[in-house]
Structure 1
Amino acid sequence: LYTAALPVIPVAYAADFPQRVRTAALFGDARYKLTDRLSLIGGFRYDHETNRYTAETVATFTGTLPSPTAFGAPGTPLFLAVSAVNQGVLGLVGNANSARASNARSFDAFLPKAGLNMAWTRDVSTAFTVQRAYRSGGSSQNPARALLVAYDPEYSWNYEGSLRSRWLDGKLTLNANVFYIDWKNQQTNAFFGLNEFDYNTVNAGKSHLYGFEVEAQGQISRAVDAYVSVGHVRTKFDDFTLPNGSTSAVDLAGSEFPYAAHWTIAGGVNTRVGPVVGNLNANYRGPVFSDVGVTQVQGRLSGRTVVNARLGWEMDHVTIFAFARNLLNEDYKQYDFASSSRAILGDPQTFGGGVEVHF
């Protein structure tokens, strides 16, 4: 009965979240030759950051509360129940108000790097590096409670092997990377139960990802060159420990990262014949999960392939061109928010042209 009279809670919400960040860093890289072909790689970055996050929110109920007398005479159970719910609604809106508050944080991180590089020939080299990385902490505003909540930095150790090579007298370039990343103290959102706006950033997770990338570029003729790249990645949340008081029902442990396609492929061809220049390219993204947790298979988005093209006429200082985006009119979702029945669709088929002036 009450939700029929007030299906939504209309609120005018104004917020101001100015943030000031200052960073200073000291970094260096060095390479020491152990032999003519084998080199030791070393480096570091010392990072210092101070940030001040300020928040002020004003929430005002802009609707009309249901009249308790419409549900029963004063003193009756329904009258009292509706009165109590009205006070609860006003309390929720009131909780979203906050006076201006600031939270200043300071972070220091030492991020070392070490590795080996082997130059097998003048055109072929391989390397292996280990490097620590981090994302600084900060503060976030819980919209429902109007609380300013601090969270800590997250850290990762990155292990990467690489191949750099040139073939066929430099006409073909072939590069590859293989990587493993161990992520700890991961920053994520946690919900605390009042309503859908009762959330803030916390440090809750541990995860890892691994994969490889291969890219090639070749000069087919004086007028034509081509390029292609292939990427593969697997991701997994290893642990997900929420703070006390959180009512988030989703346990990310064991699930994959959202929007992390197992396979991505891209390629294209460039051509130049006199003043005429052209490009035809395509990119493929494999299926992805739009959600997290054990039920993420229900939010699976199918893979998509998008083809683009451009044809131009170049003069000394002017280029006239025509283009096509999503040439084959692929219909796909870029993002999907199943919990709120919203989605972001991919770019539609588009044709156009333009003029570029350069000096």
Structure 2
Amino acid sequence: MSGLSDGGFILAFNSNIDAILRVSDELLESIRDTSIYPDLVQSMREGVGNEVSVDKETIKKLKEIFDTYHATRRIGGNAAIMAEVLSKLGVSPIILNRPAPSGGELVHFVFEFDLPSGGKERFIVNGGLEEEFVIDPAFVEDSIQEVDHMRGAIISGFHLLPDHGYSEKIDAVLDLIKRWKDKNPRLFIHCELGAFRSLIVAHELLTKIGGLLDSLGMNGEEFLALAESSGLEITPGVMIDRAGAVMDRYSLKRIVIHTEKFIVGLEQEGILAAFIRSLDFGAAVAAAYITKGEFPDLDEVLKVLHGIAPSQKAVVEGGGNLIAVTCGVYPVKSLKQAVGRGDVFTAGYVLGMVSNHPQNFVD
């Protein structure tokens, strides 16, 4: 795959600092009298991650606890994580939306726990959604000024939109990506969704921006919720069967659904071989990440591509204006990190798309 570092990326909108502690009996005892204790225990029993919002008093107590236990601090948030992945893969420059909330830096308190099957999951606590989705005016100015030299943009964090005032924020995003496209029609824009509390917000978002996107991505559970099919088994057949209607509803060119066992992609226009290669590259980046436990560089990704066979060969279905592709993932012998796998896959996939499509290169 050539040209991986030719041209930059725009990453928006959610970035924060993660304060991370590994769960222990002592730590659990220290938060027993807080509102998050039952939810954290339930997440650990079920072996699933979760994110909750709490009041300022709880945040104050968590800050004291995390300081006492000397929590590790890392960059967090979908946009910031994907920016780190792309940087590690050699992409430069990167323009990242990093707003400064009124109360100082935005910190998420992360409880990391081990899974019986291997790997880790996270229970994340934030201080409310009012300042979770903020568009920095300096980022707007810089991204518009430099968009001519960019070849990709990944926008995410919309699941953090507040219950009130979200329409104005969506309109601001719509205006911004229109301005990006006006200056650089070749800019490849991918939107990565999360777990929305309200499908009303998701519907308004995609109704307004869907036609401007080159690609939309999410995991299997998030897709079933968007397709109003929650509870169905997550299989390639179910994903493909319902994806066409979602694409029509929101005027989407491509949709990508990533899971731990397979990846499904559908596109209405484009180069099929490039689409398959890009999905495969994203899967390889994710495999290198969960094996290493850290964001991989290109050499580490290439070792995966040349050293491990995917769980299945790409299967192509359909024809005409809509093609569906099911790709395998790269099975790994040891799992050091599972948290963030979707963001890592997405960064690799989008980088693959702009690298595999000659029309997307900037001069």
- Report the TM-score range of the alignment, normalised by the length of the smaller protein: under 0.3
The one of the two structures with greater contact order (alpha-carbon pairs below 8 A, sep at least 6) is: 2
| Greater fraction strand | 1
- The structure with more radius of gyration: 1
Q: What TM-score, normalized by structure 2, do the two folds share?
A: 0.24
Q: What TM-score, normalized by structure 1, do the two folds share?
A: 0.25
